[in-house]
């Protein structure tokens, strides 16, 4: 989603800002812009589309600055136009970028218009810069006017503003959208993600909710939401900036699909103790919490929600405790029942998803025994605000469509299942042993790529598709459908196969491919009956099945044979061929695989 980069230095900042924006590109955006201050002048350059367009325009404009702010915008309020792109400017003096949504923008806009402010965009953001400008008249510093302005903002913001009259400082404020200050020598930086700044620094201060900070070349002053001056820890980042290359692969998504055996290996490393899970991998208090837990409430969005759905099957079957799974945006706006000794588990690759974070904060007031997150970013808000955390070690995931983050979440959830079972005195050895075989099983599944690439050609002219699964493969069918729609733009629905005759059978014809996930388990015969129901109505079926499942390819059925795998880890393994299918269909259709239209990697607005 939107990205922010800012710098206050003595050297020209153009390259730093553009490089920073490029590192955030993968998150998804539709326009970009930069504002630079030099010798009392304010220069703004904006472009629709890729950061490369902005870079060319900036070169043509031949403007430079030693202080600057830059932004990639993912449209929420107002279309994709240069006028709506950030930075927004007030009276030619203040420039501001913003991530998040100001919910009371309409009333603020009306009031500011009444006071003579002219609006040039349709965005919610423009009110921020005008309000700060207006308040500047009543306050003796830009910092004080930002502190006064944020009191009037309802909604979420990570924002950065500077005044061309005093380009040696930038003021930043965070509430609901992350911001990090990067520390240099005689220069300082700001970004919505440390990744943007790894080329210039490794030392970071993560702002907390409600913080407002004044950043100059030489100093960083931070004030909390009540206006008190506070110190925040300096963190030395170990994030790997080299992770961001595509290597020999055509797309990041393909690279990340192939990285899954290694990502799972990394996630397991040091987390197993013989045939037991090392419970401390979840945090200091994990043992005591897992002993007492009686219910697990999982909250997540998108792909992460699908991993939670799989975990419900595991936790109830193997750890013997009840589990509910809910989409964060639903959970946060309803009155839900909190079971006795209930553990709240959030799942998120980014750790910054606005709805998931809000759900965690809400749940903290509701009497859960503890909160835990399964997350891929150690410095994220979800990790910092949860009692326990299990870090998936997938490495940076650049493709918007989540792949290795998903499979490592599943591994984390299997470990959680085993850890709770263990602490309750149940035997979890079979789970641990199955998990250990996963990297090898994933390698085997990747060998299906060539056959799937050929199969993908049959999907290129299709507009709709249906994914079917039963049991813990139902959420995998949902994830397969999500992947296909995200990157190939083919409409895809997933159904629990037993639900076919309650509606979706009406859709079946030769133009509607049916994708079936069919490992050899106790539900296979049931699933076979569902497949016959489809065949009888002329549907073309694509089955991903165990060698021993006895499906045979013919003119209405294409069978992709998957090596036998233990049922408990089958959801992880069957994910791979579905990812490959989506990938190759998207490549054939010529879509922007890594940055599909309208989507964002880190959804920091609700």
Task: Point out the residues that are catalytic.
Answer: 2, 601
State in angstroms the smallest separation of the CB of 372 from ligand G6P: 15
The window from 85-93, 214-222, 244-252, 299-307 that contacts ligand G6P (CB under 6 A) reads: 299-307
Q: Which two three-digit tokens encode residue 255?
A: 């690279």
| Residue choice 169, 490, 601, 605 for contact with ligand G6P (CB under 6 A) | 601
Q: Which is nearer to ligand G6P, 304 or 371 (CB)?
A: 304
Q: Which stretch binds ligand G6P (CB under 6 A): 128-136, 165-173, 197-205, 297-305?
A: 297-305
404-423 helix and 302-318 helix, angle to the nearest 10 degrees: 30
Per-residue b or e along 289-328, where b marks 16 or more CB atoms closer than 10 Å to that residue's CB:
bbeebebbbbbbbbbbbbbbbbbbbbbeebbebebbbbbb
Dist CA 604 CA 402 (whole Å): 16
**Could you give the angle at which helices 14-24 and 51-61 cross, rounded to 10 degrees?**
170
What phi, psi does 397 have (nearest 5°)?
-110, 120
Strands 212-216 and 157-163, by their bridges, are unpaired
Residues numbered 47 to 86 that lie near ligand G6P (CB under 6 A) are none
d(CA 110, CA 243): 46
Q: Which is nearer to ligand G6P, 146 or 301 (CB)?
A: 301
DSSP reduced 3-state for 514:
strand
Q: Which of 31, 123, 194, 303 binds ligand G6P (CB under 6 A)?
A: 303
Q: How far is the CB of 255 from ligand G6P (least distance, A)?
A: 16
Is there a contact between 34 and 70 (Cβ–Cβ < 8 Å)? yes
Nearer to ligand G6P, 358 or 369 (CB): 358
Contact region with ligand G6P (CB under 6 A), list: 8-16, 72-80, 350-358, 500-508: 350-358
- For the CA atoms of the chain, what is the radius of gyration? 25
Residue 489 backbone class (left: φ over 0; alpha: ψ -120 to 50; beta: rest):
left
302 binds ligand G6P (CB under 6 A): yes
Segment interacting with ligand G6P (CB under 6 A) among 158-166, 224-232, 295-303, 518-526: 295-303
Residue of the chain from 67, 194, 201, 353 that contacts ligand G6P (CB under 6 A): 353
Residue 237 makes contact with ligand G6P by CB under 6 A? no
Residues 6+ apart with CB under 8 A from 509: 537, 538, 539
3-state secondary structure of 241: helix
67 in Cβ contact with 36 (< 8 Å): yes
Interior CA angle at 260 toward 259 and 263, to 5°? 85
What is the smallest separation between the CB atom of 472 and ligand G6P, expressed in angstroms? 19
Assess 412 for contact with ligand G6P (CB under 6 A): no
Is residue 192 a contact residue for ligand G6P (CB under 6 A)? no
Told to check if 2 binds ligand G6P by CB under 6 A, we report no
Alpha carbon separation from 304 to 198, 329, 382, 393 (Å, rounded): 27, 13, 14, 15
Look up residue 117 and give its DSSP letter: P
Q: Select from 382, 392, 391 the least CA-distant residue to 355.
A: 382
**x/- letters, 543..582, toward ligand G6P (CB under 6 A):** ----------------------------------------
Q: How far is the CB of 268 from ligand G6P (least distance, A)?
A: 20
Q: Which is nearer to ligand G6P, 261 or 302 (CB)?
A: 302
381 belongs to the binding site for ligand G6P (CB under 6 A): no
Question: For ligand G6P, which residue of 9, 159, 266, 304 counts as binding (CB under 6 A)?
Answer: 304
Contact in structure between 466 and 515 (CB atoms under 8 Å): yes
CB of 371 to ligand G6P, least distance (A): 15
What is the smallest separation between the CB atom of 353 and ligand G6P, expressed in angstroms?
3
Residue of 13, 315, 344, 400 that binds ligand G6P (CB under 6 A): 400
The answer to whether the CB of 120 falls within 8 A of the CB of 84 is no
Binding test (CB under 6 A) with ligand G6P, winner from 356, 473, 521, 530: 356
Instruction: Verify binding: residue 599, ligand G6P, rule CB under 6 A.
Output: yes
CB-based contacts of 39: which residues, under 8 Å, 6+ apart? none
**For ligand G6P, the closer CB: 350 or 549:** 350
Q: Which of 468, 540, 603, 605 binds ligand G6P (CB under 6 A)?
A: 603
**Positions that interact with ligand G6P (CB under 6 A):** 301-304, 348-350, 353, 356, 400, 402, 599, 601-603
């Amino acid at each position: 989603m939107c990205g922010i980069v800012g710098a206050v230095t003595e050297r020209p900042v153009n390259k730093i800002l553009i490089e920073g924006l490029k590192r955030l590109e993968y998150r998804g955006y539709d326009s970009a812009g930069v504002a630079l201050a030099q010798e009392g002048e304010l220069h703004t350059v904006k472009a629709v589309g890729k950061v490369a367009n902005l870079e060319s325009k900036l070169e043509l404009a031949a403007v430079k600055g030693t202080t600057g702010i830059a932004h990639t915008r993912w449209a929420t309020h107002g279309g994709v136009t240069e006028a709506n792109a950030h930075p927004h400017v007030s009276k030619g003096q203040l420039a501001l970028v913003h991530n998040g949504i100001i919910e009371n923008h309409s009333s603020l806009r009306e009031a500011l218009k009444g006071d003579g402010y002219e609006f040039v965009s349709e965005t919610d953001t423009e009110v921020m810069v005008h309000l700060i400008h207006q308040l500047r008249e009543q306050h003796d510093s830009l910092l004080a006017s930002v502190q006064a302005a944020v009191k009037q903002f309802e909604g979420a913001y990570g924002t950065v503003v500077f005044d061309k009259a005093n380009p040696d400082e930038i003021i930043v404020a965070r509430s609901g959208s992350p911001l990090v200050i990067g520390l240099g020598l005689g220069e300082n930086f700001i970004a919505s993600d440390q990744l943007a700044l790894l080329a210039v620094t490794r030392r970071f201060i993560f702002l907390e909710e409600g913080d407002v900070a004044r950043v100059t070349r030489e100093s960083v002053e931070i004030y909390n939401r009540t206006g008190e001056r506070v110190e925040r820890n300096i963190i030395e980042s170990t994030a790997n900036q080299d992770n961001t290359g595509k290597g020999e692969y055509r797309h990041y998504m393909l690279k990340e699909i192939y990285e899954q055996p290694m990502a799972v290996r990394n996630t397991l490393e040091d987390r197993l103790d013989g045939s037991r899970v090392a419970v401390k991998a979840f945090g200091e208090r994990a043992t005591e919490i897992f002993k007492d837990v009686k219910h697990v409430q999982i909250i997540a969005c998108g792909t992460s929600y699908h991993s939670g759905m799989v975990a419900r099957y595991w936790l109830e079957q193997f750890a013997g405790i009840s589990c509910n799974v809910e989409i964060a945006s639903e959970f946060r706006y309803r009155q839900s029942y909190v079971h006795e000794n209930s553990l709240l588990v959030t799942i998120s690759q980014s750790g910054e998803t606005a709805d998931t974070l809000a759900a965690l904060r809400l749940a903290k007031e509701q009497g859960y025994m503890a909160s835990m997150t399964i997350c891929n970013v150690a410095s994220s808000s979800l990790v910092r605000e949860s009692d326990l955390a299990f870090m998936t070690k997938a490495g940076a995931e650049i493709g918007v469509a989540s792949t290795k983050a998903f499979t490592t979440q599943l591994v984390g959830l299997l470990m959680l299942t085993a850890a709770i079972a263990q602490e309750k005195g149940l035997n979890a050895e079979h789970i641990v042993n199955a998990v250990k075989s996963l990297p090898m099983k994933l390698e085997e599944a990747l060998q299906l790529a060539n056959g799937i690439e050929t199969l993908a050609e049959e999907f290129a002219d299709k507009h709709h598709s249906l994914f079917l699964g039963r049991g813990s493969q139902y959420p995998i069918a949902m994830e397969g459908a999500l992947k296909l729609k995200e990157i190939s733009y083919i409409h895809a629905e997933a159904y629990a196969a037993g639900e076919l005759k309650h509606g979706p059978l009406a859709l079946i014809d030769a133009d509607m491919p049916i994708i079936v996930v069919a490992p050899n388990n106790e539900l296979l015969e049931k699933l076979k009956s569902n497949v016959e129901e489809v065949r009888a109505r002329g549907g073309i079926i694509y089955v991903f099945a165990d060698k021993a499942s006895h499906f045979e390819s013919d003119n209405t059925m294409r069978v992709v044979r998957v090596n036998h795998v233990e049922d408990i880890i089958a959801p992880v393994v069957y994910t791979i061929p579905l990812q490959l299918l989506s990938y190759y269909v998207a490549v054939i259709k010529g879509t922007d695989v890594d940055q599909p239209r309208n989507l964002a990697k880190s959804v920091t607005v609700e």
